[in-house]
Amino acid sequence: MMMMTLNQKKRLSKINMNKEINLPLAEEHIERFYGKIKINKLTGCYIYLGCKDKDGYGIFRLYGKNIKAHRLAWVLENNQEIPKGLCVCHECDNPICCNPDHLFLATTQDNTKDRDNKGRNAYGERNSGAKLTEQQVLEILGVVKKNGNYRGLAVELAKIYKIHRSQMWTIINRHKWKHLVV
């Protein structure tokens, strides 16, 4: 295990670990951040060229912590912390955009409504937790349409498709996969 130098300890002691981004930032960090941005002249997006997380958001390493690049861009532009309970959202729906003109604050609920209104919610096969394909669900709905909706059929179909019977009922009763037309 490496020992920390006195300077490293002093620097760490100044960081409030309860805050995501501590202001003011050193000029070297600001220059390093903006050095990773390229402007897309067609969209006006400030494209973050650094590392990305699994969801495609830019990640900037600051004081040993990964900070989402668009959140850092908002903080630098507004020279204040992001208020507790609010998200930094993209008007452009581009997760690597850091253009402050494309960013706005919203609650998680507002962000979810924005996502749903723009049709970006993951349903059906786009949902990473989906166990069935659209084709399989259409087959299930076709069998139900042909044979009628009764309990024994749902249990049998659940066994065939290797899902729980309660999940099969959500499909048959059109609580899930309702975007499919039979």
Q: Which of 80, 82, 83, 78 is nearest to 68 (CA)?
A: 82
Are 103 and 71 contacting, i.e. CB atoms less than 8 angstroms apart?
A: no
Let me know whether 136 and 160 are in one domain.
yes
Structural domain containing residue 68: 21-117
Whether residue 139 sits in one domain with residue 110: no
Q: Cβ distance 171 to 128 under 8 Å?
A: no
Within a domain: 73: yes
Given 72, 95, 117, the domain boundary residue is 117
**Residue 124 resides in a domain:** no
Q: Do 95 and 137 lie in a common domain? A: no
**Domain contains 46:** yes
Give yes or no for a cis peptide into 24 (omega within 30° of 0): yes
Counted domains in the chain: 2
* Measured CA distances, 12 to 15, 53, 152 (Å): 5, 25, 63
Give per-residue pLDDT as tens, 139-177.
999 999 888 877 789 899 999 999 999 999 999 988 888
Asked if 45 and 92 touch (Cβ cutoff 8 Å), the reply is yes
Q: Is residue 26 part of a domain?
A: yes
Q: Is residue 125 part of a domain?
A: no
CATH at 92 = 3.90.75.20
Place of tokens 């253009």: 99
- Per-residue pLDDT tens over the stretch 6-37: 454 344 334 333 356 766 788 899 999 999 99
Structural domain contains residue 182: no
Average pLDDT rounded to a whole number, residues 55-81? 93
Distance CA 117, CA 107 (A): 15
The stretches of the chain forming alpha helices (DSSP H) are 6-13, 27-34, 69-78, 108-117, 134-147, 151-161, 165-172
Looking at residue 142, what is its pLDDT? 92
Residues 107-138: pLDDT tens digits? 999 998 888 888 777 777 777 778 899 999 99
Cβ pair 131, 166 in contact under 8 A: no
**Residues 93, 45 within the same domain:** yes
The reported pLDDT for the residue numbered 12 is: 38
Phi, psi of 90 (to 5 degrees): -105, 125
Mean pLDDT to the nearest integer, 94-109:
96
48 and 109 in a common domain: yes
